[in-house]
């Protein structure tokens, strides 16, 4: 009877450990993802505010758009934000999707296709952030290099109306690697505690 009872006890113990590990991974991953995205979005929102207040003029968003000199200035400022390497693309778009300026000069004047996140930014007057594959990142023009990107849309509201949207694409691979390292650490700690507990139980 003792081997059968021991088998049952160890089976229940392993099931409890497995359920606990999965629950910890889900809870911590969700919390980590939310905290990380909120931190990145907050940083980029400050970046957008600095760009708008220091460089952008309401006339740049008018029907005729910016002059060639103004467009070149906007593109220079946007390109400087990409130099650090974490941001791979920045686009200043009108509500119809037309790119006013970008760190990729060839996209100026092109029109990006409508998307749910872009439409939400236009309608909701708040930023949207999504991790997506580089091939479906919704950038205008040439695709971005990272396999996974964090796509953010920031609406620019003037007199209660969304006049433009700033799109930022960040390399999401470091974020995903950190999340995977966290999950691996949780599993390692849980398994170590399970081995110690199983030895004591035996």
Query: For residues 78 and 100, is the Cβ–Cβ distance under 8 A?
Result: no
Mean pLDDT value of segment 182-195: 79
The 3-class SS string of 81-140 reads: HHCCCCEEEEEEECCCCEEEEECCHHHCCCECCCCHHHHHHHHHCCCEEEEEEHHHCCCC
What pLDDT shows up at residue 2? Answer: 66
**pLDDT value of residue 31:** 74
Q: Region 38-61: what's the mean pLDDT?
A: 88
Local confidence band at 1 (pLDDT 50, 70, 90 cut-offs): low
Residue percentage of the chain with pLDDT more than 90? 13
Confidence at residue 109, expressed as pLDDT on a 0 to 100 scale: 85
At residue 195, the pLDDT reads 78
Q: C-alpha 46: how far from its chain's center?
A: 15
* Residue 200 pLDDT exceeds 80: no
pLDDT at 59: 86
Q: Which DSSP category does 176 fall into?
A: H
> Quick one: pLDDT at residue 184?
82
Question: Residue range 125-137: average pLDDT?
Answer: 77
Residue 201 has pLDDT above 80, yes or no: no
Residue 114: which region, alpha, beta or left (left: phi > 0; alpha: psi -120 to 50)?
beta
For the segment 122-137, the average pLDDT, to the nearest whole number, is 78
More confident residue, 20 or 69: 69
Higher pLDDT, 156 or 85: 156
> Per residue in 138-149, is it b (16+ CB within 10 Å) or e — as a string?
bbbbeebebebb
For residues 73 and 101, give the distance between their C-alpha atoms in angstroms, rounded to a whole number: 9
Which pLDDT score, from 0 to 100, does residue 168 have? 92
The conformational region for residue 67 under phi > 0 = left, psi -120 to 50 = alpha, else beta, is: beta
3-state SS class at 178 = helix
pLDDT confidence of residue 90:
92
């Amino acid at each position: 009877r003792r081997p059968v009872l021991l088998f049952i006890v160890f089976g229940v113990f392993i099931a409890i450990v497995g359920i606990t590990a999965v629950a910890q991974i889900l809870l911590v991953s969700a919390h980590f993802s939310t905290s990380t995205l909120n931190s990145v979005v907050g940083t980029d929102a400050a970046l957008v505010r600095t760009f708008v207040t220091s460089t952008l003029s309401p006339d740049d968003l008018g029907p005729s758009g910016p002059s060639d000199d103004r467009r070149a200035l906007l593109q220079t400022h946007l390109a400087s934000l990409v130099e650090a390497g974490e941001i791979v693309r920045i686009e200043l778009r009108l509500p119809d999707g037309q790119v006013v300026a970008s760190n990729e000069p060839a996209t100026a004047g092109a029109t990006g296709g409508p998307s749910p996140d872009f439409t939400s930014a236009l309608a909701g007057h708040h930023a949207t952030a999504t991790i997506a594959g580089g091939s479906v990142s919704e950038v205008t023009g040439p695709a971005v290099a990272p396999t996974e990107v964090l796509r953010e849309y920031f609406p620019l509201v003037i007199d209660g109306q969304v006049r433009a949207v700033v799109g930022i694409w960040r390399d999401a691979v470091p974020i995903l690697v950190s999340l995977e390292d966290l999950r691996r650490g949780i599993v390692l700690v849980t398994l170590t505690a399970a081995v110690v507990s199983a030895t004591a139980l035996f």
